[in-house]
Amino acid sequence: MYKITRKRELVENIFLMDIEARRVAKSALPGQFVIIKVDEWGERVPLTICDYDREEGTVTIVFQTLGASTKKLAALSEGDEIRDFVGPLGNPSEVVTDEKEHLLKKKIVFVAGGVGTAPVYPQVKMLKEKGIDVDVIIGTRSEKTLIMEEEFRKVAKNLYVCTDDGSYGFHGLVTDKLKELMEVDKKEYDLCIAIGPMIMMKFVSQLTKSYGLETIVSLNPIMVDGTGMCGACRVTVGDEVKFACVDGPEFNAHLINFDEAMRRQSMYKTAEGKKNIIMEQKSVHEHSDLCDLGEILHEEK
């Protein structure tokens, strides 16, 4: 069991939690992720590591309540425990494992979107500690959904906040801002790292490809075990099929088949809906403990 030592609602529906997990905190690096399972009945849900405290033995996660599992997690309080917390999984980010001298020569821009803003933070922080300055573009719906601005102000050289509705900062999408920086402000970047919704990463990738700007994205496909044993998270990168959980989660954006990745991400949309219906029905009528799903399907035939 893993204890929740801190819980904050950053903005509506986005939560931050510190979870006590000594072994994970000891070996975690930016870019890696964990898998959590809230309780006995829960699914295994991948979440990117947003920070860690090796002395306290805690790992920070930030998540948005989207489906049943994240809602279950959000319903827990400080002091509660979750059943399973495993990691760190995947490869650490290239910018934290790369040589300092090599990185000093590069001009790096990070593009963060929505809840993907959180995992960008430890990377920027670690680069700052090495004396490497980077630009950061954050995209969000409105001022009300903006997270971690204060933290980024301290570690980013330049921070550009974009809102869809123009309520704060730049009015427009992250791609509009990136384009402006490169064309109007004549910024010459050597590396772009984008983390956020798949659709955002796709459009960032399309834009930077036209500029020939090397781009890395952190993919978030459906996962089950997260250790390479099932292939649920497979993506096409160049001509190869890769498992995001062990070969990634970071890949060269310009080689990714985003349309396929987005299609695969929505695979269980209907199943999740079905699951919700079954869950609602469960409280209404008695059920046998075995094969409920099968029986409902039989009935449907």
Annotation: binding site for [2Fe-2S] cluster: 230, 233, 245
* Whether the Cβ atoms of residue 251 and residue 219 lie closer than 8 Å to each other: yes
241 binds another protein (CB under 8 A): yes
Closest separation in Å from C-beta 6 to another protein: 21
* Stretch touching another protein by CB under 8 A, among 171-179, 184-192, 203-211, 288-296: 288-296
242 binds another protein (CB under 8 A): no
Residue choice 125, 128, 187, 274 for contact with another protein (CB under 8 A)? 274
Residue placing its CB nearer to another protein in the complex, 24 or 174:
24
Residue 224 to residue 69: CA distance in whole angstroms: 13
Closest separation in Å from C-beta 209 to another protein: 22
Closest separation in Å from C-beta 227 to another protein: 5
* Whether the Cβ atoms of residue 61 and residue 88 lie closer than 8 Å to each other: no
Strands 2-11 and 45-53: unpaired
Residue choice 87, 114, 169, 249 for contact with another protein (CB under 8 A)? 87
Residue choice 119, 216, 234, 244 for contact with another protein (CB under 8 A)? 234
291 binds another protein (CB under 8 A): yes
- With tokens 């509660």, the residue in question is 80
* Whether the Cβ atoms of residue 251 and residue 262 lie closer than 8 Å to each other: no
Beta strands in 32-125 (DSSP E): 33-37, 45-53, 58-64, 81-82, 84-89, 108-113
Please enumerate, by residue number, every residue annotated as part of a binding site.
62-64, 230, 233, 245
Residue 49 to residue 89: CA distance in whole angstroms: 9
Closest separation in Å from C-beta 48 to another protein: 15
Residue placing its CB nearer to another protein in the complex, 43 or 180:
43
3-state DSSP call for residue 55? Answer: coil
Burial per residue of 34-51, b for 16 or more beta-carbon CB atoms within 10 angstroms, e otherwise = bbbbbeeebbebbbbbbb
How crowded is the C-beta side of 195, counted as CA atoms within 13 Å? 25
98 binds another protein (CB under 8 A): no
Residue placing its CB nearer to another protein in the complex, 104 or 267:
267
Closest CA to 201 of 221, 182, 175: 175
96 binds another protein (CB under 8 A): no
The CA angle 12-16-18, to the nearest 5 degrees, is 160
* Residue 162 β-bridge partners: 139, 170
Residue placing its CB nearer to another protein in the complex, 7 or 44:
44
Q: Which residues sit at the interface with another protein, rule CB under 8 A?
A: 23-24, 27, 37, 41-44, 68-69, 72, 83-89, 224-225, 227-232, 234-236, 241, 246, 260, 263-264, 266-268, 271-272, 274-275, 278-279, 282, 287-298, 301
